[in-house]
Structure 1
Amino acid sequence: MGILDGILLGFSQAATPTALLFCLIGVLLGTLIGVLPGIGPSATIAMLLPITLGLDPLTALIMLAGIYYGAQYGGSITAILVNLPGEPSTAVTAIDGYQMARQGRAGSALAISAIGSFVAGTIATVVLAVASPALSQVALKFGAPEYFALTLLGIVLVVVLSRGSLLKGLAMATFGLLLGQVGTDVFTSDTRFTFGLDDLRSGVSFIAVSVGVFGIAEILRNLEQDSTIPRALHKINRLMPTREDFRRSVGPILRGTFLGSLLGVLPGGGAFLSSFASYAVEKRFSRHPEEFGKGAIEGVAGPESANNAGAQTSFIPMLTLGVPSNAVMALMIGAMVVQGIQPGPRVIVTQPELFWGLVASMWIGNAMLVVLNLPLVGAWVSMLRIPYGILFPGILAFSCIGTFSANGSTMELYILAAAGLAGYIFTRIGCDAAPFLLGFVLGPMVEEHFRRAMLISEGNLGVFFERPISAVLMLSVVVLALLTFVPSLLSTRKVVFSNADD
């Protein structure tokens, strides 16, 4: 199937009344949780996973995807108006966006943010539509050695690019890998690490773990903080940017789109890394670097375009290789699995309506966002006045009911509580939850492909270096590990011996 035929098929699927309704629900929810600090798309998608069981796969993915890229739009609103980034990826936007609001240019900042996001999302979706089929054709040649090397590389990259200590990132990924081994052995059908509990024979519930680590833990973290917003809300005088604003924004929007499209594919990249990289590039090449931090519109246009492009292209490795590039994509893979879909390169071949329908929905969703966001900006900001003490009981009840309804087992609630407490502890000790979740998702894949490769090669480890693709991937793992872990170990060794000498 050609790309044009695929796009036409996608719009025939995404333009149905049901798909349009859930696309609208997704982008509205995404904007809302982007506006409200402390919730985030990961927690929201995790909490909504049980609901997706009652939807068809395409409708469920359309809604969840809308939440993710819609949150990038919503996060910029509070970043600009109240200097409070709704999303980590919009933290850079607040630097110059809030200064523009203080100068009476909030409308221009919001408009350029929305326009840049729309342009970037549209172009990045084209990249997704063009690159994914080609990458899927390459991935169809993958065997067990290639998949093992690829999943291992994904874990190593996520550990390297995770926020905080490298050792903590490695520990979190290892913890996730170990938790993923609970259940029934795929090859022998023996149970392992179940402690005699029949509820664990099929493994630890992905829904309960993800809702706990992101949703329940987020509630516990927010209860520690003051729920009031003491910042002044800056008024919006006019939404239409000036001709000069447009002129200065064209270059940053295009550069941000390019950077975001490129970095979004990388494990651990996505919207967060893209926005910071774009800001650094714009400041470096600007003719007026002294204006950055004081209300430079380039500091809004570039990062906002980059984070939306990064959000869109992060779907490429998830849809074509079955490997998540960040925690949200891991949740998307979980949503596909609970729907009975095996993520990977065969999705585009066996279920083209699912793949192309999701791609087409991104164009529709971006158009919905740019039409809805600016007229409703006052309503979004008013949400900040809702005390968190009113919000969290409903969120908690929704999480518990949704998790229990997934399988109707009380064990799910125990896992939910344990995962929520664990997620809270992770935050308190400075550990990023993303490597844990990706380790949990990729762990069973790593084991399955490794054991399958060993069976095929009769225990010969050289099988991972005999085929070109797997050899390149394994060498990348080795080189990346050496470049990352060896300097860290050497520096630690120097500290230890210097202390011993003292």
Structure 2
Amino acid sequence: MMDMLYNLGLGFAVALTLKNVFFCFVGCLIGTLVGVLPGVGPVATISILLPVTLALDPTGALIMLAGIYYGAQYGGSTTAILVNIPGEATAVVTAIDGHEMAKRGQAGLALGLAAIGSFIAGTFATIVIAALGVPMTKLGLLFGPAEYFSLMVMGLVFAVVLAHGSLTKAVAMILVGVLLSCVGADMETGRERMTFGLHMLTDGIEFVVLAMGVFGFGEIFKNLADPEKRDLVKGSIGRLWPSLRDLRENMGAILRGTGIGAVLGVLPGNGAILGPFASYAMEKRLSKRPQDFGTGVSQAVAGPESANNAGAQTSFIPLMTLGLPPNAVMALMVGAMMIQGIVPGPQVIERNPELFWGLIASMWIGNLMLVIINLPLIGLWVKLLQVPYRLLFPAIVAFCCIGLFSISNEPAQVMMAGAMGLVGFALWKLQFEAAPLALGFVLGRLLEEKLRQALIISDGSMTTFVTSPLSAFLLAIGAVALLVAVLPSIRKSRDDVFKDA
């Protein structure tokens, strides 16, 4: 307990410096804006801003990117409640009852419950991360090359199982991502692989180029192809702060949602997205009037929003302690860390304790900022929601191109990102999810490196992956998860969960 308090003290000492508070504020503000204006989500925004992080120190860069992520979760609820358009997949459930509350003149109450639930969930998630950080890191230090390889295989399997849509398409995206990570010079022999004689591929595909193309440009193409549909609430927002009675009625939903989201957020794949759906289902089951759900029940907003925020923050646990990104945003965080020369994993807490604990402390500060700065700005967000999205996209494209060019001063990188954008748009049209592609790409190099190291240590014997108890256990978990996922009943319930997301 004393160690945790000491570590949190170190974290707050780092996070409360003027520079890092500023980066946290900027991240939360950008994240909320991104969440409020559906069309460019946190994945695309973080992809666009990756070049900016080159000019920042690692701690400041990660604090800002993390603020964008959980700020977008918060902002997504604003759009879901006021416009009935989920800014994020995790806000789909919030839109069901939140918008009905808004049409009854209770938009302020819904927004206030979402804010308070998110803050309570964020506070709890911060404590969970602080409590599990050191034990998980000590566990990570027990991992050798074989165990790390098996861990990453298990993570990729979960990414497949929890991905939207077809399992076959998710597997294909993982494999494509791993293959793309192999482009460039071989890490041992130095010979070129899959470069097709193109000089710009000699050093491999830059993660920033892939991320900004598939997620940034691809998202813009997708939104330009979709007609804008809005159902903006015209009436009064109403009071923002819930009464003591409202808090008493919704506190159980907030605490249950926080617990569900905190647990599911750790799962690789789309665990954080499952949280709000699971919370909604639980509240409906526990309710004395389940038939009212869908007509404007406050617990159906407070619970899922708490699960949403808790899951967003606990998804940092496997990233920071084991180096395993559980979702596409965390994959981008891995990219940001690697750009800064930091290898994610159990060594981070030992070699960069200021970064690890500073990031954790900044999450609590960021959640407090989100409540303080956003509820008074509801009127501004309502005005912004009236701006046609097509007017925003030219500026975003220009910013992307400048950022890409600034990385290497090569026009070819901008052209490659444009081509990746077309690929991202094609994937969307063909109903392929791009998130497993990013995970496969980020983990591909590490997967190959650990595979080679394990085989060298074992003199080329593949049995090394099953003779190690920990490695065999991780592979068994992955195999069971994949087998369970292909069962017809499980596949049907899985599709039901994600049909709206």
The reply to whether TM is greater than 0.5 is yes
Q: Say which SS state the counterpart of residue 55 (structure 2) adopts.
A: coil
For 1:16, the equivalent position in structure 2 comes to 17
1:354–1:138 Cα change, 3 Å: same
The answer to whether residue 452 in structure 2 is matched with residue 436 in structure 1 is: no
For 2:4, the equivalent position in structure 1 comes to 3
Give the deviation of 1:203 after TM superposition. Answer: 1.1
1:422-501 aligned at under 5 Å gives the runs 422-485=423-486
For 2:407, the equivalent position in structure 1 comes to 406
Aligned mates of 1:42, 1:188 — CA distance in 2? 34
For 1:269, the equivalent position in structure 2 comes to 270
Number of aligned pairs? Answer: 490
1:118–1:366 contact (8 Å) kept in structure 2: yes
Q: Say which SS state the counterpart of residue 344 (structure 1) adopts.
A: coil
For 1:48, the equivalent position in structure 2 comes to 49
Aligned mates of 1:357, 1:459 — CA distance in 2? 42
Aligned mates of 1:462, 1:424 — CA distance in 2? 42
Give the deviation of 1:270 after TM superposition. Answer: 4.1
Aligned mates of 1:389, 1:460 — CA distance in 2? 56
For 2:80, the equivalent position in structure 1 comes to 79
The answer to whether residue 69 in structure 2 is matched with residue 68 in structure 1 is: yes
76-85 or 397-406, larger mean C-alpha shift: 76-85
Report the residue type matching 2:29 in the other structure. L
For 1:497, the equivalent position in structure 2 comes to none
Aligned mates of 2:350, 2:94 — CA distance in 1? 39
Report the residue type matching 2:82 in the other structure. L
1:158–1:267 contact (8 Å) kept in structure 2: yes
For 2:365, the equivalent position in structure 1 comes to 364
* Unaligned residue ranges in structure 2 (runs of 5+): 493-501
Aligned mates of 2:291, 2:229 — CA distance in 1? 34
1:418-441 alpha-carbon deviations (Å, 9 max, x no partner) = 110000000000010011110111
1:161-186 alpha-carbon deviations (Å, 9 max, x no partner) = 10011111111111111101011211
243-252 or 364-373, larger mean C-alpha shift: 243-252
Q: Say which SS state the counterpart of residue 269 (structure 2) adopts.
A: coil
Give the deviation of 1:487 after TM superposition. Answer: 5.9
Aligned mates of 1:274, 1:307 — CA distance in 2? 6
Aligned mates of 1:210, 1:234 — CA distance in 2? 40
1:270–1:311 contact (8 Å) kept in structure 2: no
1:79–1:90 contact (8 Å) kept in structure 2: yes
Aligned mates of 2:366, 2:409 — CA distance in 1? 33
Q: Say which SS state the counterpart of residue 295 (structure 1) adopts.
A: coil
For 1:321, the equivalent position in structure 2 comes to 322
Q: Say which SS state the counterpart of residue 261 (structure 1) adopts.
A: helix
Aligned mates of 2:207, 2:258 — CA distance in 1? 33
Aligned mates of 2:204, 2:234 — CA distance in 1? 48
For 1:220, the equivalent position in structure 2 comes to 221
1:273-312 aligned at under 5 Å gives the runs 273-312=274-313
For 1:113, the equivalent position in structure 2 comes to 114
Q: Say which SS state the counterpart of residue 376 (structure 1) adopts.
A: helix
Aligned mates of 2:227, 2:430 — CA distance in 1? 21
For 2:374, the equivalent position in structure 1 comes to 373
1:229–1:384 contact (8 Å) kept in structure 2: no
Q: Say which SS state the counterpart of residue 406 (structure 1) adopts.
A: helix
Aligned mates of 2:488, 2:294 — CA distance in 1? 34
Give the deviation of 1:404 after TM superposition. Answer: 1.4
For 1:352, the equivalent position in structure 2 comes to 353
Aligned mates of 1:275, 1:476 — CA distance in 2? 25
Aligned mates of 1:230, 1:118 — CA distance in 2? 27
1:187-235 alpha-carbon deviations (Å, 9 max, x no partner) = 2222211122332222101001100111101111111123463533342
1:357–1:129 Cα change, 3 Å: same
1:451-501 alpha-carbon deviations (Å, 9 max, x no partner) = 11011001111111112211100111222233334769x99xxxxxxxxxx
Report the residue type matching 2:461 in the other structure. N
| RMSD over equivalenced CA pairs, Å | 1.6
Aligned mates of 2:206, 2:376 — CA distance in 1? 41
For 1:495, the equivalent position in structure 2 comes to none
Q: Say which SS state the counterpart of residue 137 (structure 1) adopts.
A: helix
1:282-317 alpha-carbon deviations (Å, 9 max, x no partner) = 101112212211111100110000000000000001
Aligned mates of 2:272, 2:236 — CA distance in 1? 28
For 2:499, the equivalent position in structure 1 comes to none
196-205 or 30-39, larger mean C-alpha shift: 196-205
1:121–1:363 contact (8 Å) kept in structure 2: yes
Q: Say which SS state the counterpart of residue 376 (structure 2) adopts.
A: coil
1:82–1:233 contact (8 Å) kept in structure 2: no
1:75-113 alpha-carbon deviations (Å, 9 max, x no partner) = 111211221211111110111111111222111111111
Report the residue type matching 2:188 in the other structure. F
The answer to whether residue 161 in structure 2 is matched with residue 143 in structure 1 is: no
1:228–1:387 contact (8 Å) kept in structure 2: no
Report the residue type matching 1:360 in the other structure. A
220-229 or 409-418, larger mean C-alpha shift: 220-229
Q: Say which SS state the counterpart of residue 305 (structure 2) adopts.
A: helix
* Unaligned residue ranges in structure 1 (runs of 5+): 492-502
Aligned mates of 2:387, 2:272 — CA distance in 1? 27
1:95-147 alpha-carbon deviations (Å, 9 max, x no partner) = 11111112221111111110000000110111011112110100011000000
Aligned mates of 2:191, 2:415 — CA distance in 1? 24
Report the residue type matching 1:22 in the other structure. F
2:149–2:447 contact (8 Å) kept in structure 1: yes
Give the deviation of 1:44 after TM superposition. Answer: 0.3
Aligned mates of 1:234, 1:441 — CA distance in 2? 46
Give the deviation of 1:244 after TM superposition. Answer: 2.8
1:114–1:370 contact (8 Å) kept in structure 2: yes
2:34–2:41 contact (8 Å) kept in structure 1: yes
Aligned mates of 2:279, 2:238 — CA distance in 1? 28
Q: Say which SS state the counterpart of residue 392 (structure 2) adopts.
A: helix
Aligned mates of 2:39, 2:125 — CA distance in 1? 27
Give the deviation of 1:68 after TM superposition. Answer: 0.3
2:162–2:271 contact (8 Å) kept in structure 1: no
